[in-house]
Amino acid sequence: MQHLIETQQFERDSLRKLFDLATRMEDHRDDSLHGKILAALFYEPSTRTRLSFESAMLRLGGQVLTMENGGESSSQTKGETLEDSIRVIGQYADVIAMRHPEAGASERAAAISEIPIINAGDGAGQHPTQALLDLYTIERELGAVDGAHVAIIGDLRYGRAARSLAYLLGKYDNIHLTLVSSSELKMGDDIKEYLDEHHVTYTETAELAGAMHEADVIYQTRIQKERFPTQEEYERFRGGYVITRDLADSMKDKAIIIHPLPRVGEIMPEVDDSPHAVYFKQVGYGLIVRMALLASLMDPRYEDIIR
């Protein structure tokens, strides 16, 4: 039984197959997953990820069961363990897309689940499907990933999407990262050790403007209120890095701005019609990547993509 828990499960060849399949899924609907049921099990609120998975499943002819705010569900308030919840929901569905506030929760679920588990974000751990769609966006917009200079901005300490993308970029050649954050929100040493092992060069800085001038990809992230222990600590960092239209206009030709969304003030609205802004287009790329992932997990024709 196959699960999608972390980006490290992919190699260059499997990424190539997945992205080729995603491209074929563009403007596509079929009944390949007819009779299959996706359980969207979200212990944290979600809009884009949950609806994207549901739309992907429906476009492939499947059906969906949804539980949002699962932390407030009857089973949770009664004290049911995550493992028992997975055993129960596994009787209702054929695949589970799960978001959970605890890092490592998806791995716990996969260890006992008899149906595929897809990690739709686990605390400050990983968000592999977000990273996959981010990488696909980079490839589609730049034409290639090798040789890219990617600036990752904002909350690099708690940002699971930023961590997950860094793991994927380590599989490509001649990548340089500029990690833009305050000293308190720097990228973790575990990620930097991984980058060193995979020969990814990187620089750390607190200065945004230089990265905007030099990078091929600007990956802006929000300061995540839900990850901070207190409101006061969150307020200290909110608004620290804001992309204005002047900064966007200073970018290299064909450089792009991406964002996992939602944005909460870190990209000004006047940037939206910049030729560099592709973050809403990125949402559409995410749908077809998730269609390809569901097909890979549940359609025998594509079973060699995820190992």
Q: What is the rounded distance in angstroms from the CA atom of residue 102 to the CA atom of residue 104?
A: 6
162, 167, 174 from 197: Cα distances, Å: 18, 11, 13
Question: Residue 171 catalytic?
Answer: no
d(CA 106, CA 48): 19
Of 86, 68, 45, 36, the C-alpha closest to 295 is 36
Known active-site residue 108: no
Give yes or no for a contact between 48 and 42, defined as CB atoms under 8 angstroms apart: no
State yes or no: is 78 an active-site residue.
yes
**257-280 per-residue burial string, b: 16 or more CB within 10 A, e: under 16:** bbbbbebeebbeeebeebebbbbe
The catalytic residue among 100, 127, 160, 259 is: 127
| DSSP category for residue 97 | E
Q: Which of 3, 7, 36, 49 is catalytic?
A: 49
Cβ neighbour number for residue 215 with a 10 Å cutoff: 24
Spell out the alpha helix ranges (H) of the chain: 12-25, 48-59, 74-77, 82-89, 105-112, 128-142, 160-169, 189-197, 208-214, 231-237, 245-249, 279-298
- Residue 49 among the catalytic residues: yes
Choice among 50, 59, 99, 276 that is catalytic: 99
Give the rounded distance of the alpha carbon of 52 from its chain centre.
Answer: 12
DSSP alpha helix (H) spans, 198-244: 208-214, 231-237
Q: Which residues are catalytic?
A: 48-49, 78, 99, 127
